[in-house]
Amino acid sequence: MTAARADWCSRLSIGFVLASLVAAPAVAHADGSPNTGRAEAAYREGRTLLEAKRYDEACPKLAESQKLDPGAGTLLALALCHEGQGKTATAWAELNEAARIGKKVGRSDLANAAQKRAQAMEPSLAKLVVRVPQASDDLAITCDGNPVAATDLGSPFPVDPGEHKVEASAPGKVARSYTVRLSGAGVVEIVVDKLDDAHEATPAPATKPVSTTQTTSAEYDDPVHDSSPNRGGAQRTVGLLLVGAGIIGVGAGAYFVGKGLSESSEARRTCPTTPCESQTDANDRAKDSMKTSVIAFTAGTVAVAAGTIVYLLAPSTSSSSRQTGQAPKPVARVVPHAGPSELGLGVVGSF
């Protein structure tokens, strides 16, 4: 790597000033290598794009330069670029590697600058913990296709914000996969369930829910599960409306009972000894009121019962553990029915 590349990286400021390397020797690689010129050109282009904060264009150029002609200064610039993209874990790892290389080649200035930046980034890192309660020697765990070492299981390790897929597999077992999305600093935990035997297992869903312990805001994706909050809320609303209508019906029944008793008493007062036409009319009105009260009581009671059932059978909005393949939940419908001499509500469905 040339002196210009090393010196530029040493003057970058990201909340602190890196020491100037104007008088310091550059990290040299084999002069005359066919890759040196290409690496230098890619580096200069990437540096210009990085200064303009065009990270998506700068990072590939800097990565190409580092691949052609590795060096602590180029790696430091690439780390700053990845940090600008929001790839905090990638940048943090590159900063630590730049510090290691800088110490190895005698560039303590670059090493110290990279190390300080890495330490400053640590509080903002998103971390993942993979726990395997029933681990075995033949169990393989990967995160985004990269193997997770047995020594890393149970310990938090940094990951870039975004979606990550953890897979568990073993010979003769049905593999499981877990998907989680992190949006900021914090710790998310995934607990890997025991794998089923391949010859005994039923087809498993492609993605399982994530068991999480969350210290900051994080967003999780679970395409297999659907808590259906809108459907559950609507069903509960219907249930409450039915209960309310039923209470009104019971109240109406009570009113007509009182009315019927009043009219019957009025009939007795009109003709206390012998029957008369006005007594007959009052008795007829009393009978009609009592019939109406029976219908109102019956309809109200049925509506209260139906509303209670509909409310209790509504899907829970807080449930996140339902899985496809489970038996369907009970479904109930309230159906009104009427005839020449009856009025009521019925509940039909599967339970």
Q: Show Cβ contacts of residue 57 under 8 Å, excluding neighbours closer than 6 positions.
A: 49
Q: 10-residue block means of pLDDT along the chain (351 residues)?
A: 50 39 36 74 92 94 93 92 94 94 90 92 93 86 92 91 93 92 88 86 53 38 43 77 83 79 72 65 75 82 83 63 44 48 50 46
Question: What letter does residue 340 receive in the DSSP assignment?
Answer: T
325: which DSSP letter? T
Asked whether 94 and 160 are in contact (CB, 8 A), the reply is no
Q: How far apart are CA 6 and CA 108, in angstroms?
A: 12
Do the beta carbons of residue 141 and residue 130 sit within 8 Å? yes
Q: Are 141 and 177 in contact (CB under 8 A)?
A: no
**What are the C-alpha distances in Å from 173 to residues 199, 204, 205?**
8, 11, 14
Chosen CATH of 125-222 out of 2.60.40, 1.10.287, 1.10.260, 1.10.357:
2.60.40
Spatial CA neighbour of 215 closest among 321, 120, 129, 93? 129
Which pLDDT does position 16 carry in this prediction? 39
* CA gyration radius, the chain: 38
What single DSSP character describes residue 178? E
Please state, in angstroms and as integers, the Cα–Cα distance from residue 301 to each residue in 161, 235, 284, 296, 332, following that order.
55, 19, 26, 8, 17
**Under 8 Å between Cβ of 324 and 224:** yes
**Separation CA 69–CA 313 (nearest Å):** 66
Q: Angle 225-184-324 (CA atoms, 0-180°, nearest 5)?
A: 5
Maximum CA extent, the chain: 133
What's 3-124's CATH class?
Answer: mainly alpha
Q: Are 219 and 183 in contact (CB under 8 A)?
A: yes
- Domain spans, the chain: 3-124, 125-222, 229-350
| Rounded Cα–Cα distance for residues 164 and 75 (Å) | 25
Q: Which pLDDT belongs to residue 33?
A: 62
- For residue 149, give the DSSP letter: P
